[in-house]
């Protein structure tokens, strides 16, 4: 019959003592793994029907966990798609990481507040701290319609801000744009619901902002989804693609900028200005 | 003498007219044949394009696509073979006028004025297609003018050629989706770089290391099950990183992300860019340091070792 209690062999006993000594000397950290969160500008956060500027959606290195930071809430929110729960993460467990990232301590204590969320197609919705929150693709956000000032557009769209930050304009093109001395006008027709505009517009906005040339007058016009059916300033010019950038001199259309994916607006625009000299 | 010269001149002019007619007939026949055969390589895509116009539903479009393709091939064969030229030329012109009508409808519903997602990539707008079709209608009229009085190639051969051509094209259209012609039809092949595939710079990190790339239709009912199998592969570990690319919209991709909870990255890529890599989805390939090292067609992941670390 096998004894219920066995005594370790001398060798095994030595290994156990060694392991205990190591544990005493270097206690195992109680800290759980950290989630490295990087902002994902493909999604936006709606809180009680508004889109607060500081609210951001983050990817983590664990593909099925996402983090939501709403400045007006007491805690951050960790969305676990496997657990189908949204966990409240105390602010003490969240710290900045680099330029725009966050580090979130993943090991949540028992009894952590958790919220249920529901999925409605591309939208996730839940209630946290008495706030109605929806996470949705940024292209689904109510669009900017009509004329809008450049600064207002940039302030309103975090995805454009992020794209502007990432873009490095060509210095030669920028020098030409900033030194141009005759009045010229750009009419920009774009849509905040259009994925191509999400790529192109931040580049153009960065170029125009950096050029800081009062001779270049810019008019930005946001298009609604059914712009062919709705009346507005977009009806007069023949718009075949979005975005459309019309270059005008003395109220006369000279040409249009190419807005395809690889377009480099500062170089093309500088070339047009060079030809106009 | 003057009388003789005039008669000779008339005869020469008549011969030229007939030759012009034959050239126009053969050119139009070649255009129809080329159009039909190119569509026959991917009839499912043609059905999708028909359905996109919104005139008929996807079910009817799936039925209409092979019929249209066969009709185009048959017209092409008939024109080249010289079978009943007046009837075939008139039918060809009518078909082209029908296409012009459809394109005009496309313009009227604002198809050219949708977002750059459409306009920036598709090189031939409905307006350009209309111009092309008008040119072909002109070709048909030239052929009718040149060949007036010509009854067509004599004998039973043209009819036999037309019958065989029609039967062959119908058989090819129906079998095409199941034929192993993807390496010929699509750009995806071993040795191709991400630049060749049009994917360079579109997916962060794809150019470095080893990845299994899954081309997925996230709106397909089987996409969730496929996602679960890919999730298992990720959890099992040891294989290359998995990246999924989908021609779906941001909204559809988000819906899949929340419902299927993929443990791998998924990126929407413009349909015109991705469409060059597949005829049917899903399709898989392994990319190693920016170059395709293996392509997987057929049932996804079944019996394949693409996700194992040894595969190359």
Give the residue among A249, A255, A251, A250 at the shortest CA–CA distance from A271. A255
Cβ pair B43, B177 in contact under 8 A:
yes
Q: Which tokens go with B222? A: 């089987």
pLDDT at B309 over 90: no
B190 touches chain A (CB under 8 A): no
Alpha helix positions (H), B41-125:
43-52, 58-81, 85-108, 116-119
**A239: nearest CA in chain B?**
B113
Which of the four pLDDT bands, split at 50, 70 and 90, describes residue A6?
very low
Q: What are phi and psi of B206, to 5 degrees?
A: -70, -25
Q: Tally C-beta pairs within 8 A across A and B.
A: 80
What was the pLDDT predicted at B298?
62
Strand ranges inside chain B, DSSP E: 210-215, 241-246, 265-268, 283-288, 291-296
What pLDDT band is residue B300 in, cutting at 50, 70 and 90? low
A74 vs B154, more confident: A74
Percent pLDDT > 70 in chain B is: 88
Secondary-structure breakdown of chain A: helix, strand, coil percentages, each rounded to the nearest 5: 25, 35, 40
Contact A117, A77 (CB under 8 A): no
Mean pLDDT of B294-311: 59
Distance in angstroms (rounded) separating the CA atoms of residues B217 and B265:
14
**pLDDT at residue number A241:** 79
Confidence band, pLDDT 50/70/90 cuts, at residue B297: confident
Query: What pLDDT sits at residue B122?
Result: 39
Query: Averaged over A127-138, what is the pLDDT?
Result: 95
pLDDT band at A172 (very low <50, low <70, confident <90, very high): very high
The pLDDT, as a whole number, for residue A226 is 83
**What 3-state class would DSSP assign to A39?**
strand
Q: How high is the pLDDT of residue B3?
A: 55
pLDDT of residue B119 exceeding 90? no
Chain position carrying tokens 């199998």: B229
Strands of A114-120's sheet in order across: A43-47, A131-137, A123-128, A114-120, A85-90, A75-80, A65-69, A56-59, A34-39, A101-105, A94-97
Mean pLDDT along residues A180-195: 94
Question: Does ipTM exceed 0.85?
Answer: no
pLDDT at position B111, please? Answer: 60
3-class secondary structure, A277? coil
Q: For residues B187 and B174, what is the distance between their CA atoms, to the nearest angstrom?
A: 22
Higher pLDDT, A139 or A18: A139
Asked whether the beta carbons of B279 and B180 are under 8 A apart, the reply is no
Nearest alpha-carbon partner for B280 in B185, B203, B200: B185
| A251, pLDDT greater than 90 | no
With H, G, I as helix, E, B as strand and everything else as coil, classify residue A225: coil
Inter-residue contact B46 to B189 (CB < 8 Å) = no
Q: pLDDT at position B256, please?
A: 96
Per-residue pLDDT at B99: 87
- Mean pLDDT computed over every residue of chain B: 86
B112 close to A (CB below 8 A) = yes
Task: State residue A37's pLDDT score.
Answer: 95
- pLDDT at residue A256 in the model: 92
**Spatial CA neighbour of B307 closest among B225, B240, B218:** B240
- Whether the pLDDT of residue A32 is over 60: the answer is no
Q: Residue A246: pLDDT above 60?
A: yes
Which of B238, B261, B80, B42 is closest to B157 using CA atoms? B80
Cα separation, B172 vs B177, in Å, equals: 9
Assigned token pair, B106: 């496309």
Report the alpha-carbon distance of residue A75 to residue A90 in Å, rounded.
5
- B 265-294 near A (Cβ less than 8 A): 265, 268
For B113, nearest residue in chain A (alpha carbons): A240
- Distance between start and end Cα atoms, chain B: 83
Dist CA B200 CA B204 (whole Å): 9
Q: Which residue of A has its CA nearest to B249?
A: A195
Neighboring chain B residues of A188 at a CB cutoff of 8 Å: none
What pTM did the predictor assign? 0.78
Contacts of residue B117 in chain A, CB cutoff 8 Å?
194-196
Q: Is the pLDDT of residue A18 over 60?
A: no
Q: Is B214 helix (H, G, I), strand (E, B) or coil?
A: strand
Per the listing, tokens 């060809």 go with B92
Q: Which of A227-231, B49-53, B205-209 has the highest mean pLDDT?
A: B205-209
In this model, does residue B260 exceed pLDDT 60? yes
pLDDT confidence bin for B235, thresholds 50/70/90? confident
CA distance B152 to B144: 12
CB contact under 8 A, B119 and A241: yes
For range A152-159, the mean pLDDT: 95
Measured CA to CA, the distance from residue B131 to residue B133 in angstroms comes to 6
- What DSSP assignment string belongs to A135-194? EEEGGGSPPP-EEE-HHHHHHH-HHHHHHHHH----HHHHHHHHH--S-EEEEEEE-TT-
Of the candidates A121, A123, A191, the beta carbon closest to that of B115 is on A191
- Tell me which of A153-167, A174-188, A201-215, B46-60 is least confident: B46-60
């Amino acid at each position: 019959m096998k004894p219920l209690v066995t005594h370790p062999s001398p060798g095994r006993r030595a290994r156990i003592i060694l392991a205990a000594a190591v544990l005493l000397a270097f206690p195992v950290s109680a800290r759980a793994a950290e989630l490295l969160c990087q902002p994902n500008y493909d999604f936006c956060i709606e809180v009680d029907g508004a889109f607060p500027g500081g609210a951001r959606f983050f990817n983590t290195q664990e593909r099925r966990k996402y983090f939501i930071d709403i400045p007006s809430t007491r805690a951050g929110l960790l969305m676990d798609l496997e657990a189908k729960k949204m966990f409240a993460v105390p602010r003490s467990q969240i710290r900045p990481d680099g330029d725009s990232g966050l580090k979130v301590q993943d090991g949540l204590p028992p009894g952590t507040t958790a919220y249920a969320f529901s999925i409605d197609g591309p939208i996730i919705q839940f209630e946290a701290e008495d706030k109605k929150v929806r996470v949705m693709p940024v292209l689904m956000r109510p669009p900017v319609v009509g004329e809008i000032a450049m600064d207002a557009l940039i302030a309103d769209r975090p995805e454009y801000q992020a794209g502007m930050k990432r873009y490095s304009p060509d210095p030669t093109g920028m020098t030409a744009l900033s030194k141009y001395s005759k009045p010229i006008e750009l009419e920009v027709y774009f849509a905040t619901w259009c994925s191509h505009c999400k790529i192109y517009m931040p580049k153009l906005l960065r170029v125009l902002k950096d050029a800081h040339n009062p001779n270049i007058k810019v008019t930005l016009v946001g298009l609604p989804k059914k712009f062919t059916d709705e009346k507005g300033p977009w009806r007069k010019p023949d718009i075949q693609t979005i975005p459309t950038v019309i270059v005008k001199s003395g109220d006369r259309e000279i040409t249009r900028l190419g807005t395809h994916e690889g377009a480099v607006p500062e170089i093309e625009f500088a070339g047009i200005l060079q030809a106009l000299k | 003498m003057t009388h003789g010269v005039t008669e000779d001149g008339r005869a020469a002019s008549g011969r030229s007219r007939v030759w012009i007619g034959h050239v126009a007939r053969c050119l139009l026949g070649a255009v129809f044949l080329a159009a039909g055969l190119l569509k026959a390589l991917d009839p499912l895509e043609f059905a999708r394009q028909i359905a996109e116009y919104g005139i008929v539903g996807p079910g009817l479009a799936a039925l209409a696509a092979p019929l249209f393709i066969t009709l185009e091939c048959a017209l092409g064969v008939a024109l080249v073979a010289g079978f009943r030229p007046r009837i075939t030329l008139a039918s060809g012109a009518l078909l082209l006028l029908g296409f012009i009508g459809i394109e005009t409808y496309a313009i009227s519903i604002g198809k050219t004025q949708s977002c750059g997602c459409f306009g920036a990539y598709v090189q031939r707008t409905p307006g350009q297609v209309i111009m092309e079709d008008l040119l072909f209608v002109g070709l048909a009229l030239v052929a009718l003018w040149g060949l007036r009085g010509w009854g067509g190639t004599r004998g039973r051969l043209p009819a036999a050629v037309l019958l065989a051509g029609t039967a062959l094209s119908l058989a090819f259209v129906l079998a095409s989706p199941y034929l192993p012609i993807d390496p010929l039809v699509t750009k995806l092949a071993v040795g191709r770089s991400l630049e060749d595939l049009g994917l360079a710079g579109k997916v962060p990190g794809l150019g470095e290391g080893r990845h299994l790339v899954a081309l997925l239709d996230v709106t397909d009912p089987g996409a969730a099950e496929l996602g679960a199998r890919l999730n298992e592969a990720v959890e099992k570990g040891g294989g290359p990183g998995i990246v999924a690319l989908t021609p779906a919209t941001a909204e559809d991709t988000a819906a899949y992300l929340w419902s299927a909870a993929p443990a791998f990255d998924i990126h929407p890529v413009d349909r015109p860019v991705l469409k060059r890599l597949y005829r049917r989805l899903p399709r898989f390939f392994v990319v190693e340091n920016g170059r395709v090292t293996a392509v997987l067609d057929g049932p996804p992941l079944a019996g394949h070792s693409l996700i194992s670390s040894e595969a190359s």
